[in-house]
């Protein structure tokens, strides 16, 4: 077990009243590459925010026996890094500076050789070294996204939380990013919890998949082949789909139609 969510309840307070997202949710995250899947509004982003300690929830989220909200912010910066679901457009820093910022908790008064090494290595593995001296605000949306991802990775925390990191990346970069994440997990023992929309990409790379249903309830948690099937796709996503398995039992899906008959009529 890596991270434990115990009796988690959370509501957003809005002008129209409370918007309940989680009601007594329990999950024991296993080490490795965890992917959170679920339809829009099921609470995926809210779950990452809770884990990063940004929300005042009821219940407990524990890492190594410590409640996340009780860990000091300095300690937390070393423990967890978090890439929110976002598209920030403006910054006059260069790409190199943006990525280097990820080492900020580690930077004392001067940039050390070690920091530069980690930054260079990460930029190499994400294929953005050639962009190093370019102003950040001149990059394409996808390139910006990779810079933010690099910033998250150079912190070398114990847990990395990524909210839809591959959106706006082309197919090749999606695969490269997911391979790099697997490599980081294998080489450095870092744990990753990532929200993805692409079920096939999740199946290819995840060790474990968490399925949240539209009510924010845990529908299932397990290996890709254990959780991705026709029944889940129908009950959670409301789609009729075919599912096939490759020689390693990795599922891949092809969505056929919505179960909602009104759609398209």
Which string of x and - marks every residue 150-179 that binds Mg ion (by CB under 5 A)? ------------------------------
245 binds, among Mg ion, ligand ADP, none (CB under 5 to 8 A by kind): none
Q: Where on the chain is the footprint of ligand ADP (CB under 6 A)?
A: 12, 14, 19, 21, 38, 40-46
Which residue, chain included where needed, has tokens 């995840």? 206
19 binds, among ligand ADP, Mg ion, none (CB under 5 to 8 A by kind): ligand ADP
Structure tokens at 139: 């990059």
73 binds, among Mg ion, ligand ADP, none (CB under 5 to 8 A by kind): none
Q: Is the dihedral of CA 85, 212, 176, 244 positive or negative?
A: negative
Shortest spacing between CB 42 and ligand ADP, in angstroms: 4
Shortest spacing between CB 40 and ligand ADP, in angstroms: 5
| Of the candidate residues 45, 94, 143, 168, the single one contacting Mg ion (CB under 5 A) | 45
Give Cα separations from 85 to 1, 5, 226, 241, 255 (angstroms): 26, 21, 27, 28, 25
Q: Which lies closer to ligand ADP via its Cβ, residue 85 or residue 127?
A: 85
Shortest spacing between CB 59 and Mg ion, in angstroms: 20
Q: Which lies closer to Mg ion via its Cβ, residue 43 or residue 251?
A: 43
Per DSSP, 122 falls in state H
Structure tokens at 221: 């948690």
Which residue, chain included where needed, has tokens 């759609």? 263
User: Is residue 200 near Mg ion by the rule CB under 5 A?
Assistant: no
Shortest spacing between CB 233 and Mg ion, in angstroms: 19
Which residue, chain included where needed, has tokens 């434990």? 4
Angle between helices 141-153 and 113-125 (to 10 degrees): 140
Q: Which lies closer to ligand ADP via its Cβ, residue 49 or residue 208?
A: 49
Q: Quick check: 161 and 81 in contact, CB under 8 A?
A: yes
Q: Which lies closer to ligand ADP via its Cβ, residue 21 or residue 146?
A: 21
Q: Which lies closer to Mg ion via its Cβ, residue 139 or residue 196?
A: 196
């Amino acid at each position: 077990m890596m991270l434990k969510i115990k009796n988690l309840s959370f509501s957003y307070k809005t002008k129209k009243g409370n918007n309940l997202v989680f009601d007594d949710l329990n999950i024991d995250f296993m080490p490795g590459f965890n992917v959170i899947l679920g339809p829009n509004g099921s609470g995926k982003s809210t779950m990452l925010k809770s884990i990063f300690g940004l929300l005042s929830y009821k219940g407990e989220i524990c890492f190594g026996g410590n409640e996340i909200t009780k860990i000091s912010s300095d300690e937390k910066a070393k423990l967890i890094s978090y890439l929110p679901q976002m598209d920030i457009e403006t910054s006059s820093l260069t790409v190199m500076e943006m990525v280097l910022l990820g080492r900020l908790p580690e930077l004392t008064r001067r940039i050390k050789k070690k920091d530069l090494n980690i930054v260079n290595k990460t930029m190499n593995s994400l294929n953005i070294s050639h962009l190093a001296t370019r102003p950040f605000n001149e990059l394409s949306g996808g390139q910006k996204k990779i810079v933010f991802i690099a910033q998250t990775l150079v912190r070398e925390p114990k847990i990395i939380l990524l909210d839809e990191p591959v959106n706006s990346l082309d197919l090749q970069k999606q695969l490269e990013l997911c391979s790099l994440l697997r490599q980081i997990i294998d080489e450095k023992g870092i744990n990753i919890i990532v929200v993805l929309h692409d079920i096939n990409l999740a199946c290819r790379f995840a060790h474990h998949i968490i399925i949240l249903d539209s009510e924010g309830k845990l529908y299932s948690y397990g290996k890709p082949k254990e959780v991705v099937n026709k029944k889940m796709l129908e009950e959670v996503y409301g789609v009729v789909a075919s599912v096939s398995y490759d020689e390693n039992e990795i599922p891949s899906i092809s969505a056929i139609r919505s179960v909602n008959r009104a759609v398209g009529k």
